[in-house]
Chain A
């Protein structure tokens, strides 16, 4: 539909006719593929676990298809030049996550999948809203200080007396009228926007002004001050809330963003040193962190055996897995949230888990690609910040599940059960789509496609 609207224009300027590839057809094809895989996974779970095709398989296929198509059509209207592979990857990940949650439902006799499906609908609705509300990503750059403040307020909310709510030792929930929400998922995005906004304003000063110290170009305090204050406060709040994962994520994306903004490798070195110091300090001060480290070094001392069961599951899965519905992922306590990576690894094996990790890598690479092509500094930083944030999150959570690094509570984006995370990741995807659309949109031509009825035309080209 938007294709038809745009055709006359490209014909009019056809002396240097370059019709840019929008890739919407590719997106639709890949999307059909993604919906097919999601349904395949869902049916496969029932076949493996119960030996029969689920009665609602067609409804599932249809529902998934309709939801994906709505998102696709909105992209056609609002972001016609957006990257064609982002949405299909996200739909595939959501589908795989739903299938695995459904599989754990069958084992545990729960009904998380319905909840997750509802949240996915909310997520897609927000995705559409964001695409419609934000025409130009640069409006987000206007109020970096306000954004930073919003991010901090979101982080503080769970500590408030009435709405704050603690689940399994982590004070990261708010509960309003029966609905629970993790505001830190929203804070993650808002703070990335705020950081990108700050850094655009100060990056020249950050890169050029200041003095060298130990081979590192240290910026002036007044340039870095506001960001450091936001960052330190955020970390402080997260420590009080007993939630390690988001602190790691926040710190990591912060350092990477500064590195991208200033192009100084010294920031990475400084960041790694700070991470080392931070981990050492946290290990000695916060009992929660020390406990995580102890479990990492010796998973068998944990009475719930979460990590140990996860490792057993991965080993049992082997190279090609036990097949969906035929393993025992339900033996991992709370497998549907943090340890969904292990559950998928058991039933799809190394081959399947690698494919999933590759899908994430491709998604991140599309974000970085948009960042490379975009010309405005804020868009560049925001795209890179969102992409690296996703990358870090996947690394931290899958690294934790496979015992590469200590486990820290972060959700696997799109796969894991959890409404706030799913919804906010859809918002993140909407921003990536918006940014990639801006990146791939052809530059406006110098020659106006002049028509006589355009009365407001001010530029007259001879």
Chain B
């Protein structure tokens, strides 16, 4: 193996290594500058920022109402403090539904937006067909389900 070939290989290897670093960086560019198809987390954040002022007029949910299940008709006003749902007595809204865990779900207000999050319940909290795995933004008329109980946010 001649000295020249080895030098070429050595420089070639370093070039390829740096090329990898650069391609990884360019693959990340989408995250940094948010190109083409906007990713939902970003989009929802941008949407929240955009609609922050108008939303105050349009109305944040002011009440959460049980629309199905054993406790149908009960409601709790939303003031900005977290609201917990569950069978436990220490919940903001104790429910009688047998399919609900002691501490089941929580509504949380953060930067002008209400979020619903599951508190590690046995049967899960559902928005539509999706079982929640993380905080999900909810607005007026949003519904979510815990056990057999359906909760709706109202103005």
**CB within 8 A of B6: which of A20, A48, A442?**
A48
B76 within 8 A of A: no
CB-based contact A438/B133 at 8 Å: yes
Which residues of the other chain, B, contact A26 by a CB distance below 8 angstroms? 27
Assuming the contacts A444-B128, A458-B150, asked whether A355 and B21 have C-beta atoms less than 8 A apart, the reply is yes
**CB within 8 A of B128: which of A30, A33, A47, A448?**
A448
Which residues of the other chain, A, contact B139 by a CB distance below 8 angstroms? 446
**CB within 8 A of A446: which of B38, B127, B145?**
B127
Instruction: For residue B38, give the distance in angstroms from its CB to the closest CB of chain A.
Output: 7
Assuming the contacts A142-B120, A324-B13, A348-B17, asked whether A84 and B135 have C-beta atoms less than 8 A apart, the reply is no
CB-based contact A459/B126 at 8 Å: yes
**CB within 8 A of B17: which of A20, A48, A352?**
A352
B79 within 8 A of A: no
Assuming the contacts A362-B25, A362-B28, A458-B148, asked whether A355 and B17 have C-beta atoms less than 8 A apart, the reply is yes
CB-based contact A138/B27 at 8 Å: no
CB-based contact A323/B37 at 8 Å: no
**Which B residues have a C-beta under 8 Å from some C-beta of A?**
1, 6-7, 9-11, 13-14, 16-21, 23-25, 27-28, 30-31, 37-41, 43-44, 68, 115, 117, 120, 126-130, 132-139, 142-145, 148, 150
Q: How many residues of A contact B (CB 8 A)?
A: 67
**CB within 8 A of A442: which of B7, B30, B40, B144?**
B40
Assuming the contacts A375-B134, A376-B117, asked whether A18 and B38 have C-beta atoms less than 8 A apart, the reply is yes
- Alpha-carbon distance between A443 and B135 when the two chains are bound, in angstroms: 8
Which residues of the other chain, A, contact B136 by a CB distance below 8 angstroms? 443-444
Which of A34-42, A151-159, A413-421 makes up part of the contact surface?
Answer: A34-42
From residue 27 to 82 of chain A, which have CB atoms closer than 8 A to chain B?
A: 30, 33-34, 36-37, 40-41, 44, 47-48, 51-52
What are 27 A-B contacts defined by CB distance under 8 Å?
Answer: A18-B39, A20-B37, A30-B27, A33-B23, A34-B20, A47-B9, A48-B9, A51-B1, A85-B27, A88-B20, A89-B24, A136-B133, A323-B13, A352-B13, A352-B17, A362-B25, A375-B117, A438-B133, A441-B133, A443-B41, A444-B132, A444-B136, A446-B143, A448-B129, A449-B128, A457-B129, A459-B128
User: Which residue of chain A lies nearest to B38 when distances are taken between CB atoms in the complex?
Assistant: A18
- Alpha-carbon distance between A38 and B135 when the two chains are bound, in angstroms: 40
CB-based contact B134/A379 at 8 Å: yes
CB-based contact B14/A37 at 8 Å: no
Instruction: For residue A291, give the distance in angstroms from its CB to the closest CB of chain B.
Output: 36
CB-based contact A443/B37 at 8 Å: no
Which residues of the other chain, B, contact A374 by a CB distance below 8 angstroms? 134
- Alpha-carbon distance between A449 and B129 when the two chains are bound, in angstroms: 7
- Alpha-carbon distance between A449 and B130 when the two chains are bound, in angstroms: 10
Which residues of the other chain, A, contact B132 by a CB distance below 8 angstroms? 444
CB-based contact B41/A373 at 8 Å: yes
- Alpha-carbon distance between A231 and B128 when the two chains are bound, in angstroms: 43
Assuming the contacts A40-B16, A446-B142, asked whether A323 and B9 have C-beta atoms less than 8 A apart, the reply is yes
Instruction: For residue B136, give the distance in angstroms from its CB to the closest CB of chain A.
Output: 5
CB-based contact B9/A442 at 8 Å: no
**Which A residues have a C-beta under 8 Å from some C-beta of B?**
18-21, 23, 26, 30, 33-34, 36-37, 40-41, 44, 47-48, 51-52, 84-85, 88-89, 92, 136, 138-139, 141-142, 320-324, 326, 348-349, 351-352, 355, 358-359, 362, 365-366, 369, 373-376, 379, 438-449, 454, 457-459, 461
Question: Assuming A89-B24, A326-B6, what are 17 further A-B pairs, CB within 8 angstroms?
Answer: A40-B13, A41-B13, A47-B1, A88-B24, A92-B20, A320-B11, A323-B9, A324-B13, A349-B14, A359-B20, A359-B24, A375-B115, A441-B134, A443-B41, A444-B127, A454-B129, A459-B144
- Alpha-carbon distance between A366 and B25 when the two chains are bound, in angstroms: 11
**CB within 8 A of A351: which of B6, B18, B142?**
B18
Which residues of the other chain, B, contact A51 by a CB distance below 8 angstroms? 1
CB-based contact B37/A21 at 8 Å: yes
User: Which residue of chain B lies nearest to A358 when distances are taken between CB atoms in the complex?
Assistant: B21
CB-based contact B23/A30 at 8 Å: yes
Which residues of the other chain, A, contact B38 by a CB distance below 8 angstroms? 18
CB-based contact B16/A362 at 8 Å: no
Which residues of the other chain, B, contact A138 by a CB distance below 8 angstroms? 120, 133
User: Which residue of chain B lies nearest to A321 when distances are taken between CB atoms in the complex?
Assistant: B10
User: Which residue of chain B lies nearest to A23 when distances are taken between CB atoms in the complex?
Assistant: B27
Instruction: For residue A14, give the distance in angstroms from its CB to the closest CB of chain B.
Output: 13
- Alpha-carbon distance between A52 and B24 when the two chains are bound, in angstroms: 31
User: Which residue of chain A lies nearest to B24 when distances are taken between CB atoms in the complex?
Assistant: A85
CB-based contact B128/A44 at 8 Å: no
- Alpha-carbon distance between A366 and B148 when the two chains are bound, in angstroms: 39
Which residues of the other chain, A, contact B143 by a CB distance below 8 angstroms? 446, 459, 461
Which residues of the other chain, A, contact B130 by a CB distance below 8 angstroms? 444-445
- Alpha-carbon distance between A102 and B146 when the two chains are bound, in angstroms: 56
Instruction: For residue B39, give the distance in angstroms from its CB to the closest CB of chain A.
Output: 5
CB-based contact A376/B135 at 8 Å: yes
- Listed residue (A18, A349, A375, A441) with the most chain B CB atoms within 10 angstroms of its CB: A375
- Alpha-carbon distance between A375 and B135 when the two chains are bound, in angstroms: 6
